[in-house]
């Protein structure tokens, strides 16, 4: 598994190296979502100062109670961040499709593809925001069930995790389907689920393998900069310690952006094979992983 995942990683990396602009889309998404999150939590902080009870309900569903205002504020946050993420994922997908089909995409091509499906991406964002918010409410309610049924809290947390995993798997190909075929969200979700039912689920191996590689790289980066921070701190060189922490944050941010771009390339390549039955030439070294992702079940 690891060997195939590493080959897939190298193949998607080679595509990214040939078109570094592809990292622009996840980078923009990360910056915008971070800015929105800072604004959101800033608003929560102000509300908590003015009304501590309402503040707790908005943030965590204190004792399982959620105010209408809290749900409304939370939904707006989820909707905006979902729209930003889906729009820029769509732009990345559009650019990658052009690249996989032998073209030479520009940033404008990616944004053009996303703009052409803007209304459908917004509709999909409403769905993803709703699902994400409900899962988060279940998880937070279980986590903050003080003095309640511990077993029930654990089961609720497990249920939330399983629901999140199932949703991510079922919706794996929705954005590529919307961008390339112009399907509405529900038909696109049905197509994505249908493609999953036709397989043994090997596409999960590719995603999990690449996530593992990224995680190991993140661990390596953390160890290196952690050691530098400890070293500088031990000799009393405060500037060096602070610089190491800042560089660690930058390195992790870059890794996350690259991993997001690589994941988008893999997802789009899987979609392209599912649609055409042909592995894109640029993905040929990882053809075993792509073909395996849509290996038809035996009767």
Greater pLDDT, 34 or 45: 34
- Stretch 53-60: mean pLDDT, rounded? 60
**Total-model pTM:** 0.80
Per-residue confidence (pLDDT) for residue 299, from 0 to 100: 39
Per-residue confidence (pLDDT) for residue 60, from 0 to 100: 53
**Residue 214 domain flag:** yes
**Residue 255 domain flag:** yes
pLDDT above 80 (res 249) = yes
**Residue 192 domain flag:** yes
**Residue 298 domain flag:** no
- Stretch 132-160: mean pLDDT, rounded? 76
**Residue 297 domain flag:** no
Per-residue confidence (pLDDT) for residue 298, from 0 to 100: 43
Per-residue confidence (pLDDT) for residue 201, from 0 to 100: 54
Which range is most confident: 142-156, 180-194, 265-279? Answer: 180-194
Nearest to 229 by CA among 214, 248, 211, 213: 248
Structural domain span for residue 260? 2-292
- Stretch 267-294: mean pLDDT, rounded? 68
Greater pLDDT, 100 or 69: 100
Close Cβ partners of 159 (under 8 Å, ≥ 6 residues apart)? 138
Per-residue confidence (pLDDT) for residue 66, from 0 to 100: 57
Per-residue confidence (pLDDT) for residue 56, from 0 to 100: 62
pLDDT above 70 (res 32) = yes
DSSP the chain: -HHHHHHHHHHHHHHHHHTGGGGHHHHHHHHHHHHHHHHHHHHHHHHHHH-HHHHHHHHH-GGG---HHHHHHHHHHHHHHHHHHHHHHHHHHHHHHHHHTT----HHHHHHHHHHTHHHHHHHHHHHHHHHHHHHHHHHHHHT-TTS-HHHHHHHHHHHHHHHHHHHHHTTTHHHHHHHH---HHHHHHHHHHHHHTS-STHHHHHHHHHHHHHHHHHHHHHHHHHHHHHHHHTT-HHHHHHHHHHHHHHHHHHHHHHHHHHHHHHHHHHHHHHHSS--GGGGGGHHHHHHTTPPPP-
DSSP 41-69: HHHHHHHHHH-HHHHHHHHH-GGG---HH
Going from the C-alpha of 99 to that of each of 79, 96, 265, the distances in angstroms are 30, 5, 10
Among the listed ranges 56-70, 92-106, 219-233, 275-289, which one has the minimum average pLDDT value? Answer: 56-70
**Residue 39 domain flag:** yes
Tokens of 123: 């509709």
Q: How many domains does the chain have?
A: 1
Per-residue confidence (pLDDT) for residue 67, from 0 to 100: 64
In degrees and rounded to multiples of 5, residue 255 shows phi and psi of -60, -40
Greater pLDDT, 236 or 268: 268
**Residue 260 domain flag:** yes
Q: What percent of the chain has pLDDT over 70?
A: 78
pLDDT tens, residue by residue, 88-109: 999 999 999 998 888 889 999 9
pLDDT above 50 (res 153) = yes
**Residue 299 domain flag:** no
Rounded Cα distance between 292 and 200, Å, is 8
Output the furthest CA–CA distance in the chain (Å, rounded). Answer: 68
């Amino acid at each position: 598994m690891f060997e195939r995942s590493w080959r897939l990683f190298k193949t998607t990396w080679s595509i990214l190296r040939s078109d570094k602009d592809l990292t622009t889309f996840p980078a923009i998404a990360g910056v915008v979502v971070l800015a929105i999150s800072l604004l959101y939590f800033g608003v929560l902080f102000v509300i908590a100062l003015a009304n501590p009870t309402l503040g707790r309900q908005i943030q965590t569903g204190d004792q399982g109670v959620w105010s209408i205002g809290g749900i409304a504020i939370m939904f707006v946050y989820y909707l905006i961040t979902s729209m930003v993420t889906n729009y820029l994922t769509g732009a990345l997908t559009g650019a990658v499709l052009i690249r996989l089909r032998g073209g030479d995409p520009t940033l404008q091509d990616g944004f053009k593809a996303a703009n052409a499906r803007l209304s459908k991406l917004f509709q999909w964002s409403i769905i993803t925001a709703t699902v994400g918010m409900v899962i988060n409410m279940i998880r937070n309610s279980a986590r903050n069930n003080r003095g309640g049924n511990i077993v029930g809290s654990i089961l609720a947390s497990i249920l939330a995790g399983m629901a999140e995993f199932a949703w991510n798997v079922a919706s794996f190909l929705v954005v590529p389907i919307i961008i390339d075929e112009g399907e509405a969200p529900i038909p696109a979700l049905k197509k994505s689920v249908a493609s999953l039912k036709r397989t043994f689920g090997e596409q999960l191996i590719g995603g999990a393998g690449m996530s593992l590689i990224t995680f190991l790289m993140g661990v390596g980066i953390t160890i290196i900069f952690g050691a530098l921070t400890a070293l500088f701190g031990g000799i009393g060189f405060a500037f060096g310690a602070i610089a190491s922490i800042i560089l660690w944050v930058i390195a992790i941010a870059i890794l996350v952006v690259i991993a997001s771009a690589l994941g988008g390339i893999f997802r789009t390549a899987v979609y392209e094979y599912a649609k055409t039955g042909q592995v894109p030439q640029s993905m040929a070294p990882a053809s075993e992983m792509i073909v395996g992702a849509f290996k038809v079940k035996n009767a």
